[in-house]
Structure formats: C-alpha cells, structure tokens
C-alpha cells in the first residue's frame, strides 16, 4: 500500500552566502590556521559583493576576533582561543 501524506521536498542547495560562509569556516578550521590563530580571507571573483559585505559585518560582531585589512583587499583574521567561549 502506498503512503499518503506530504511529499518530501528535495533539499535546497545552499545559498551563495551559505557557500561563502562554509568556505571561510573551512579556512578558519584548517590545522595551520588553528595552530597559528590566524588566517587571511579574500572574496573570490565569483562571490557576490553583498554576501562578502554581510559576512564582514557579521565577523565584526565577534568579540574574540580581530580583523586587519590588508593593502590588497584581503583581511587577516586573528583570534585568541583563551578569550573565546567557543
């Protein structure tokens, strides 16, 4: 007998902002970044400027994070794990 009820919807692909966030999260969680408590991030050409600006605004709210703009448009992120509650 066939089940009646709701059809399962196909999972939605991640938004461009979610993809950007996942990329930066992977970069922050990389072993080298974790051992040095720093990484340099940059927007890729195929990423939306609005997504990048939103990400930067959200990162600015993280108390344990220092953002250092670099001359070439990249941003160095530094954090102190002793101050982090994460």
pLDDT tens for each residue of 72-85: 999 999 998 675 54
> Which strands sit side by side in the sheet containing 75-79, from one edge to the other?
38-41, 75-79, 65-69
Domains: count for the chain? 1
Residue 44, in any domain of the structure: yes
Residue 32, in any domain of the structure: yes
How far apart CA 8 and CA 83 sit, in angstroms, is 43
Beta strand pairing call for 65-69 and 75-79? antiparallel
Residue 1, in any domain of the structure: no
Residue 54, in any domain of the structure: yes
pTM here is: 0.80
DSSP conformational letter for 33: H
pLDDT tens for each residue of 1-52: 555 666 788 899 999 999 999 999 999 999 999 999 999 999 999 999 999 9
Owning domain of residue 21: 16-79
How far apart CA 39 and CA 70 sit, in angstroms, is 12
Residue 72, in any domain of the structure: yes
The region that residue 58 occupies, defined by phi over 0 for left and psi between -120 and 50 for alpha, beta otherwise, is: alpha
């Amino acid at each position: 007998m066939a089940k009646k009820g709701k059809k399962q919807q196909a999972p939605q692909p991640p938004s461009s902002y979610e993809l950007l966030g996942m990329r930066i999260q992977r970069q922050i969680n990389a072993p080298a970044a974790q051992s040095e408590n720093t990484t340099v991030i940059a927007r890729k050409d195929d990423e939306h400027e609005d997504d990048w600006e939103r990400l930067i605004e959200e990162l600015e709210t993280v108390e344990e994070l220092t953002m250092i703009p670099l001359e070439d448009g990249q941003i160095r992120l530094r954090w102190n794990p002793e101050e982090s509650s994460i």
